[in-house]
Structure 1
Amino acid sequence: MNLFLNKNFRYMFLGRVVTNIGDSLYVVAAMWLVYDLGGSTFYTGLAGFLTIFPRLIQFLSGPLIDKISIRPLLINTQLIQCALLLIIPLAYYFEFLSVALVLTLSPIIMIFNMLVYPAQMASLPTFVENNDLTKANSYFTLAYQGIEIGCNAVAGVLIVIIGAVSIYLLDSFLFLMGALIFSMIKFENKPENKQDSILKTSIKNQCKTYQHELKDGVKVLLSKKFSRLLFGMIVINLVGGATFVVLPAFSDYKGGAEIYGLLLMAQAIGSLSGALLAPYLKLERFKMGKVYAIAFLISGVLWAVSVLMPWTWLMIIIYGIAWLPGGITNILINTCLQKGIPKELLGRVFSASFSLSGIAMPLGSLLGGSLGVVMGSSYVIFSSGIAVVFVGLFWLVDKTTSNLPTIEDIDEKTFIYQTLNTQAN
């Protein structure tokens, strides 16, 4: 079946494209604006910390996503971001723009953005057949990551031509368009559970229920089969945060905002290529742990050596290829969770997954920004790549990780059954 004949999928995909254009332009503009106003990797590190910190809010949102209607959530988050983004152009016009204002608004904007992606991923199995999930995830990744290809390069050019502040104005319009597109989605109402209804139970019971459901999502991820994989992803996200916040300074040293845009474009091309290749590589037949180990061994080596290249064009190409394995593994883990987790738990598991895997990114941002001041941005990027190599080696020699099942063998009993057994014992 052509997925785009499905109206809900079509509008969800189109909305993701429009809002992801806004997200991509915003991230580049915000990081460059902070570097321009503050003049130091310390401020970009702090910006990275404050921007990624809202993952904790995403972590708490899981049970809520499982209960409320997705459509109003998507619409309202877009409208709120539209209004918040307008503050920066107004501050610039009335001459009270400062690095403190940008740093204050960034985490608030990202809190609402963090609610959108897990809600979309949790809703996907409600209108897409199981045998189409890998293809649907690939399309969603195209919208979530792939659109960054053009946007990151364009953002670098736009910063030079019109300035970062004008990009905020453009982003505000894009989020308004996203809200209009999401308003066309038609979902069936969530079935109400009389015992657990958020709206009708007492506050005390709501908190207990929320806490219990939150634990359900975490238990799956902290089970024996997932915990070591999760630990490695925490390390990778830590060094990823460190690399991201020193890229403006590294790009400025290499040539300016254009290089920043090209590096981010190369990163997006690598991730997109991996996502698009994933359905054709048939990696579902291989053990997931070994696929992850080999993928990030390759990624880490390329990540580290990219900064050693004598020519800028070669450095950009190698840095982009380093992100290709990550694009492949993102598709695999999404399909794995969607097949192995009951639909009523998907919201809390996806929220917990995104939050726990990215919990180290705020710390990595602060660490990378501080080390960038002391040792230089090139050193931070090189060291980050070496850290990824060690994670790949750990997964390769660890028996629990290397023996994770193939995705073809995963069903709803794979992880929930193990979690229940562990609880009983």
Structure 2
Amino acid sequence: MNIFLNRNFTVMFLGRIMTNIGDSLYTVAAMWLVYELGGSTFYTGLAGFLTIFPRFIQFLSGPLIDQVSIRKLLIVTQVTQAVLLLLIPFAAYTGFLTVGMVLIISPVLATLNLLVYPAQIAALPTVVVNKDLPQANSLFAVAYQGIEIVCNTVAGILIVSIGAISIYLLDAGMFMIGAILFSLIRLPKQVKSQPKEDTSVQAVLVTYKKELKEGLQILLGNKFSRLLLGVIIINFVGGATFVVLPAFSEERGGAEIFGFLLMAQATGSLAGALLAPYLKLESFGIGKVYAIAFLLSGLLWSLSVFTPWTWLMIVIYAFAWFPGGVTNILINTSIQKGIPKHLLGRVFSASFSISGMAMPLGSFIGGSLGVLLGSTFVIFLSGLTVLAVGVFWMFDKTTRSLPNQNAINEETFIKSEAPLLANE
């Protein structure tokens, strides 16, 4: 592919792969370790809450990403995560490991990740030309979802064979490799609009507040508020489902099933991301695409848990995540095309933050309901909720009237007030 002749893109792509390997293995290992140490979905729910809670403040990182060196940001976050991950094996080997320690480290790692992904996406328009953005986004999705497919499956096997603690050691190595790769990135320096800049604390705070307000104003317009509400609800039940998967998997066979279900989720999302450029959905209204996509997703999501055969359950669950992969590519590309490059960091940070703000609450409530009602009921109810959101979008006139991707430009985003939110 010609895009891989671009040195900066190739290095960033390989670095993302290393980062995704570390993240994917850690996600499975951490959730299983919490369940193993705590013995209840309440602890996995609490872990999910603490891990996703940083999304509440992720939008604050937008102006920071727009101002600092993305290369330095990527290097520092990778090295810091490697060091933090090593604390878990050290505590285990010295006899001081507790579920509380895992719960404390998890949100710190999550906060660092919330800086990494918006920074990488915001840097793409600087690394590649506009015509290559759809391909670059699709390849980044492959790096994210494709690695998850392999790592989620392997993690389940590794938990059984070598234990969750050893996975932490492997993760630390992946993050260090990622830091080395990111150090090879050479991005052009940003051109300052003024020769001299007031660097006083007061001036910096005023500028930060102004830039933060700009990002939120672009994001939170009236025209797309229906999608915003729906995405928040979907992420709420997504958090609830994730934290009860270890208990559900234990009932169905053990850690291997947990890995296979996460693999199915990643496989479905990846397939959607890969096929998105070929489905020719750019000419269809984004609201209509969202409605149909999540009608199908909710239906398959809720039905999967009642399938008597484990293999078929995994297949159906994978198809439930296909629509999300499709819509992610369409929406991310729309934002990158319609938002001025100097605003992308703050807008993407606000997008990820607002779209995922309900996940911590969903994780906590889902874990609590799992104790009272069982993990199967929580997953089924989550699927029904996604289905209900799709029905609402289908019959809502405002949602159906949203423009297609080809019609979106800077005037749509800036004057018409809001870009679409990206699911994660």
Which TM class, normalised by the smaller chain length?
A: over 0.9
Give secondary structure in 2 for the equivalent of 1:62.
helix
Aligned to 1:86: 86
Aligned to 2:421: none
Mark the CA change 1:196 to 1:13 in structure 2 (over 3 Å): closer, same or farther: farther
Q: Does 1:402 align with 2:379?
A: no
Aligned to 2:98: 98
- In 2, Cα distance between equivalents of 1:163 and 1:69: 38
Aligned to 1:320: 318
Amino acid at match of 1:169: L
Alignment TM-score, normalising by the size of structure 1: 0.96
Worse overlay, 201-210 or 148-157: 201-210
Render the CA deviation track for 1:58-90: whole Å, top value 9, x for unaligned: 211001111111100000100000100000000
- In 2, Cα distance between equivalents of 1:196 and 1:372: 57
CA-CA distance at 1:415 after TM superposition: 1.4
Aligned to 1:281: 279
Worse overlay, 397-406 or 375-384: 397-406
Q: Does 1:69 align with 2:69?
A: yes
Give secondary structure in 2 for the equivalent of 1:96.
coil
- In 2, Cα distance between equivalents of 1:320 and 1:78: 30
Mark the CA change 1:191 to 1:396 in structure 2 (over 3 Å): closer, same or farther: same
Aligned to 2:390: 392
CA contact (8 A) 2:81 2:112 kept: yes
CA contact (8 A) 1:220 1:226 kept: no
Amino acid at match of 1:38: G
- In 1, Cα distance between equivalents of 2:415 and 2:12: 32
- In 1, Cα distance between equivalents of 2:143 and 2:191: 29
Aligned to 1:10: 10
* Pairs within 5 Å for 1:371-386: 371-386=369-384
- In 2, Cα distance between equivalents of 1:139 and 1:245: 28
CA-CA distance at 1:191 after TM superposition: 2.5
CA-CA distance at 1:57 after TM superposition: 3.7
Aligned to 1:172: 172
- In 1, Cα distance between equivalents of 2:30 and 2:15: 22
CA contact (8 A) 1:221 1:230 kept: no
Aligned to 2:153: 153
Worse overlay, 186-195 or 344-353: 186-195
Q: What residue ranges of structure 2 are gaps of 5+ in the alignment?
A: 419-424
- In 2, Cα distance between equivalents of 1:195 and 1:85: 42
Render the CA deviation track for 1:378-407: whole Å, top value 9, x for unaligned: 000000000001111111111111111110
CA-CA distance at 1:201 after TM superposition: 2.3
- In 2, Cα distance between equivalents of 1:210 and 1:45: 34
CA contact (8 A) 1:155 1:261 kept: yes
Render the CA deviation track for 1:24-76: whole Å, top value 9, x for unaligned: 00000000000000000000000000000111342110011111111000001
Q: What residue ranges of structure 1 are gaps of 5+ in the alignment?
A: 421-425
Q: Does 1:187 align with 2:187?
A: yes
How many residues align structurally?
A: 418
- In 2, Cα distance between equivalents of 1:83 and 1:255: 33
CA-CA distance at 1:285 after TM superposition: 1.0
Aligned to 1:423: none
CA-CA distance at 1:195 after TM superposition: 8.4
- In 2, Cα distance between equivalents of 1:279 and 1:94: 51
Aligned to 1:23: 23
- In 1, Cα distance between equivalents of 2:30 and 2:11: 28
Aligned to 2:309: 311
Alignment TM-score, normalising by the size of structure 2: 0.97
- In 2, Cα distance between equivalents of 1:203 and 1:150: 47
Q: Does 1:356 align with 2:351?
A: no
Render the CA deviation track for 1:305-325: whole Å, top value 9, x for unaligned: 000101111111100110000
CA contact (8 A) 1:65 1:348 kept: yes
Worse overlay, 96-105 or 140-149: 140-149
Amino acid at match of 2:265: Q
Aligned to 2:247: 249
- In 2, Cα distance between equivalents of 1:183 and 1:127: 15
- In 1, Cα distance between equivalents of 2:308 and 2:225: 40
Render the CA deviation track for 1:159-204: whole Å, top value 9, x for unaligned: 000000000000001000000000110011223354895xx42222
Amino acid at match of 1:14: L
CA contact (8 A) 2:223 2:417 kept: no
CA contact (8 A) 1:15 1:181 kept: yes
CA-CA distance at 1:96 after TM superposition: 0.4
- Structure 1 runs of 4+ aligned residues shifted over 6 Å read none
CA contact (8 A) 2:219 2:417 kept: no
RMSD: 1.3
Among the aligned pairs, what percent are the same residue? 67
- In 2, Cα distance between equivalents of 1:137 and 1:418: 25
CA contact (8 A) 1:78 1:175 kept: yes
Aligned to 1:338: 336
CA contact (8 A) 2:41 2:368 kept: yes
Render the CA deviation track for 1:314-369: whole Å, top value 9, x for unaligned: 11110011000000000011011011111111110000000000000000000100
